[in-house]
Amino acid sequence: MATVVISNLEKVYTESKGPGVKVVHGIDLEIKDREFMVLVGPSGCGKSTTLRMVAGLEEISSGTISIDGTVVNNVLPKDRDIAMVFQNYALYPHMSVYENMAFGLKLRKFPKAEIDARVREASAMLGLDAYLDRKPKALSGGQRQRVAVGRAIVRKPKVFLFDEPLSNLDAKMRVSTRTEISKLHARLGATMIYVTHDQVEAMTMGDRICVMKDGRIMQVATPLELYNKPENVFVAGFIGSPPMNFLKGCLQKSSAGGALLEFIETNDKAAPVRFMLDAALSAKGASHVGRDIIFGIRPEDVQDTGTSTAPNPAHTIEVKVEVSEPMGAETLLYLTTGVTNFIARVRPTDRFEVGQSVKVTFKIESAHLFDAATEQVLK
């Protein structure tokens, strides 16, 4: 397997008039040997373009890509020792499953015995033994995607590339297929780069995740690091389902004195929501007293005072219920302060009415403060 190093990579689509459109802005990223790296972000963030430049399917405007220590900018895709799995399967309809998986090896003049051994090894790994004689039209979507993965496996490349391979599958099939790909990575010990717009896929599959926005890297970290220690508002809001709640306001020193600060919601319509911060958050926000701030907290850290163990009045506010969504294992409450809407994740047995006033308490030690101008987390 191999390490992939991306250095100051840029992609510009030229135009006949004007400077062109830059879609990837000088990104730097190292994918370690045998690592499962996920590139995630909204549509148009440059993740698929970056993957296609690694594959050699897109020309690099500037910067370098190296695979296993060799710069491959000018190396043809077929000579990069990579294998790519596409969103649309790209199977030959007139060939059987066996022939589809073997086709690339036949083009490379592999001996028949080795082709057969590799195809059967991959088919056993993916549970395709019973389908080797079938044509793609006789397969389900999940089976076709497994054939596409098998075609990549038989190559035994240095790097596997996946470009949103599960997008065409239904929700249940996506869950089972992503589990299969994760198991495959553990079995092969391969270097894999996986592109998706689905943060759930990213969180469940990646050793590390690269979050992208507008052609730039926002943060690269393990799934739990991204969830618990986001570097900015974008990452905090993109990772997690439902996303992190954000309240805009400012900080002031507590009237009670001491080192603690108080958050005051920005509100020109009615009495603002206000609550105390703990010592750790107060220390982080000390340089932003009197300045605009964003307070971030995840839905599971917003608790109904009726079910919370010894709720702290200093971290408690009164809000109204707008929508209650029973999910079976949990209930999502859509709440409003009168200005800001946010979500709480509560017990499935709790019942709430639309318009009902409830008191909720924040698990303040799990909250974050962000600079309103830069949207970077305060440390």
Query: Could you give all domains of the chain from N- to C-terminal order, each with its CATH number?
Result: 4-238 (3.40.50.300), 245-371 (2.40.50.140)
Q: Check residue 257 and give its pLDDT.
A: 60
Statement: residue 110 has pLDDT above 70: yes
Closest CA to 227 of 218, 236, 217: 236
pLDDT in tens, 255-283: 766 678 899 998 876 678 889 999 999 99
The pLDDT of 101-127, averaged and rounded, is: 92
Predicted TM-score (pTM) of the model is: 0.89
Torsion of CA 15, 16, 18, 22, to 10 degrees: 10
Average pLDDT taken over every residue of the chain: 91
* Cα gap 65→48, rounded to integer Å: 15
The pLDDT of 24-34, averaged and rounded, is: 96
Statement: residue 82 has pLDDT above 90: yes
Q: Return contacts of 75-83, CB within 8 angstroms, 24+ apart.
A: 80/55, 80/56, 80/159, 81/2, 81/157, 81/158, 81/159, 82/54, 82/55, 82/56, 82/157, 82/158, 82/159, 82/160, 82/161, 83/151, 83/152, 83/153, 83/155, 83/157, 83/159, 83/160, 83/161
* Cα gap 282→293, rounded to integer Å: 12
Q: Check residue 60 and give its pLDDT.
A: 96
Q: Which element (helix H / strand E) includes 31?
A: strand 21-31
All residues at 6 or more sequence positions from 209 whose CB lies less than 8 Å from its CB, including other chains? 37, 38, 40, 202, 203, 220, 221, 222, 223, 226, 239
Residue pair 263/356 in contact by the 8 Å Cβ criterion:
no
Residue pair 144/96 in contact by the 8 Å Cβ criterion:
no
**pLDDT band at 167; cut points 50, 70, 90:** confident
